Amino acid sequence: MTASNDSSASSMWTPLALGVAVLLIAGSFFRASNAPIWHLDTWSHWKYGEWICTHGTLPTHEPFTEFADQARPLVDIWWLSQVLGYQIYSRVGMEGIALLYGLVEALKATFYLLALRRQSGSWPVAVVGLVVVLALRWNQFGVFRPQQLGELCWAALLVLAARPVLRRSEVILIALTLGLWANLHASFVLGFVLLGTQLVGRSVELYWRTRDLQPVMADADLRMRGWAFLAGFLATWLNPYGPGLWTAVVRFNAIPTLQYVAEWLPFTPMTTYSSIALVLSGIVTLIIIRLSPRRFRLEEVLLLAGFFYGSWTSARFFIWWTSLCPWVLLPHVVAILEPWQAKVPAVQGWFWRRGVFLLGAVGALALLLGSGTGHWLLTRTPRPLEQQVDAETPLEPARVIAAAVNDDQPLRVFASTVWSDYFLWQLPPQVNLFWYSHWNCFTLQRMGEGSRLRNLSLPPTDWKDVIKRNHLDIVALSRADADHPLYDYLQEQRDKPDSQWEILYPKKGDSDAQGIVARRRPQPAAR
């Protein structure tokens, strides 16, 4: 099936499909704008945005804590996303972030729908594909970090790349998309993987059929895709680092500390929602390959194999597979279903031609107005912050630590990684955090010291030496660290009169506390 035959039997179901589509798009907005913002990779990025706006330049090294690796230059690949997030938050607060997040997710869903429609030539099939995309990434909501803006650019690129023959206007749009993407998130490289695979795959196939380079050089679509690749590459130079951004991205993926971060590691199969979705989608892909009467093109094989391998070897890659897989497979699904197309029952009457779409539009409007953001837009009454952040966000522990700050001297804090990003955002500049989620700014030694401290390592790598050597004043641990010996150790210090630790949080008997905050008492000088 192609775009030209959407007027066939399945097109009778187009009004229903469009009604479902607007519900899905509105549902994406509803869910995103209502989702509590995750505690990691949000606040820290907005802190960088604040620094950039305050200083009018980009940081050359990590600017917030003495514990960072100051020998490593910082290339702030995400600067535009960070500035956007900070500007929204500083002007409108969390309701502004919720609105922006909802709009990004709704626009992403719209772009995915349009891309799948171009690929399949059918609105009903495209809507089914969109359901699959949203289902595969169901557990990804709530993390509004720069990657989400990169995904928006990726979705727009899928729309443009699905065109059978590129036009000049689309070449310009591709260049603009990639140029913007390069200032938002390092994932812009995947755009070139997509475009390059299409260009190489189609060139090889045409040469293989003709055994002649002349048709390859004369092919209008290949020529336009080559121009799109080149124009996009040059557009990525329009960033604060110029062409050097490419080198920075390559080096970023080789930073040693990232090899120990969970989302950069391979999935453990069938243990999480995403790992199960990856395995099942891989099985469905093999089934479609076996059943499809349509020949798989070289570019399709390369894209499926490459993105599945990337997802299998790095959990963070999976999000890109969730949209590419349906995007590649839908034309083959249409080809498999084509023999049954004539058996699709016809639908007639005003309700099926107009009513179902209007019903979907009314439902979509109800979702938009019924969302927390919709209520805020109508009443101008913001929701309490506690309702807009997830349960791990350390609101009260941050207030406790802030009260312990002395303006005359720095306060060095060892905190759980799940708390550290919010501390970076909320606490005054006198606070030096031992680490936070920008692991590219820290050394393997720092990660090792933190691990030894949490596990109360014995000599020669004594955990007490870690505290003394780094002059740590406060330890703040989330309940997520309750399985580490340090958490139990601090809990035991509350009732010891000679303990060197003062428990600042929680109050005695508070069973609903998010964790524990302890301050090291000043030690008497040695005689």
Segment 496-525 mean pLDDT:
89
**In angstroms, rounded to a whole number, what is the distance separating the alpha carbons of residues 65 and 301?**
46
Write the single-letter amino acid at 512.
Answer: D
443 has a pLDDT exceeding 80: yes
505 has a pLDDT exceeding 70: yes
Instruction: Report pLDDT for 9.
Output: 52
138: Cβ contacts below 8 Å, ≥ 6 apart: 273
**In angstroms, rounded to a whole number, what is the distance separating the alpha carbons of residues 246 and 239?**
11
Q: What is the pTM of this model?
A: 0.95
Instruction: Report pLDDT for 524.
Output: 63
How many other CB atoms are found less than 10 A from the CB of residue 283?
A: 10
Bridge pairing between strands 411-415 and 431-433? parallel
> Helix, strand or coil for residue 243?
coil
Q: Where does the pLDDT of residue 7 fall: very low under 50, low under 70, confident under 90, or very high at 90 and above?
A: very low
Instruction: Report pLDDT for 418.
Output: 95
461 has a pLDDT exceeding 90: no
Of residues 202, 197, 111, 213, the one with CA closest to residue 165: 202
Bridge pairing between strands 515-520 and 501-505? antiparallel
The model's pLDDT over 35-50, given as tens digits with 9 standing for 90+, comes to 999 998 999 999 999 9
**In angstroms, rounded to a whole number, what is the distance separating the alpha carbons of residues 307 and 121?**
24
Instruction: Report pLDDT for 10.
Output: 57
348 has a pLDDT exceeding 80: no
Of residues 231, 224, 219, the one with CA closest to residue 191: 231
Q: Find the angle CA(412)-CA(415)-CA(417) to the nearest 5 degrees.
A: 135
Instruction: Report pLDDT for 2.
Output: 43
Q: Helices 417-426 & 395-403, crossing angle to 10 degrees?
A: 60
**In angstroms, rounded to a whole number, what is the distance separating the alpha carbons of residues 284 and 288?**
6
Distance of CA 425 to the CA centre of its chain: 20
Q: How long a stretch of residues is the chain?
A: 527
> Helix, strand or coil for residue 298?
helix
Segment 9-32 mean pLDDT:
89
Tokens representing 50 are 């604040």
463 has a pLDDT exceeding 70: yes
Q: Does residue 111 contact residue 152 with C-beta atoms inside 8 Å?
A: yes
- Strand positions, DSSP E, 267-362: none
Instruction: Report pLDDT for 5.
Output: 47
Segment 457-469 mean pLDDT:
92
Of residues 456, 465, 468, the one with CA closest to residue 520: 468
Q: Supply the mean pLDDT for the chain.
A: 93
In angstroms, the Cα distances linking 117 to 127, 168, 294, 498 are 8, 21, 18, 70
In angstroms, the Cα distances linking 348 to 29, 37, 52, 108, 379 are 32, 45, 59, 32, 42
> Helix, strand or coil for residue 520?
strand
Q: Does residue 407 contact residue 401 with C-beta atoms inside 8 Å?
A: no
Instruction: Report pLDDT for 341.
Output: 75
Instruction: Report pLDDT for 20.
Output: 95
Q: Does residue 195 contact residue 189 with C-beta atoms inside 8 Å?
A: no
Q: Does residue 191 contact residue 154 with C-beta atoms inside 8 Å?
A: yes
> Helix, strand or coil for residue 238?
coil
Q: Where does the pLDDT of residue 102 fall: very low under 50, low under 70, confident under 90, or very high at 90 and above?
A: very high
3 has a pLDDT exceeding 50: no
Of residues 410, 396, 412, the one with CA closest to residue 478: 396
The model's pLDDT over 316-335, given as tens digits with 9 standing for 90+, comes to 999 999 999 999 999 999 99
Instruction: Report pLDDT for 68.
Output: 98
End-to-end CA distance of the chain: 88
The model's pLDDT over 132-147, given as tens digits with 9 standing for 90+, comes to 999 999 998 888 999 9
Q: Does residue 40 contact residue 142 with C-beta atoms inside 8 Å?
A: no
> CB-side exposure of 116: number of CA atoms within 13 Å?
30
> CB-side exposure of 456: number of CA atoms within 13 Å?
9
Of residues 14, 76, 24, 19, the one with CA closest to residue 50: 76
525 has a pLDDT exceeding 90: no
Bridge pairing between strands 501-505 and 474-478? unpaired
Strand partners, 505: 517
Q: Where does the pLDDT of residue 522 fall: very low under 50, low under 70, confident under 90, or very high at 90 and above?
A: confident
The model's pLDDT over 400-415, given as tens digits with 9 standing for 90+, comes to 999 999 877 899 999 9
DSSP letter, residue 45 = H
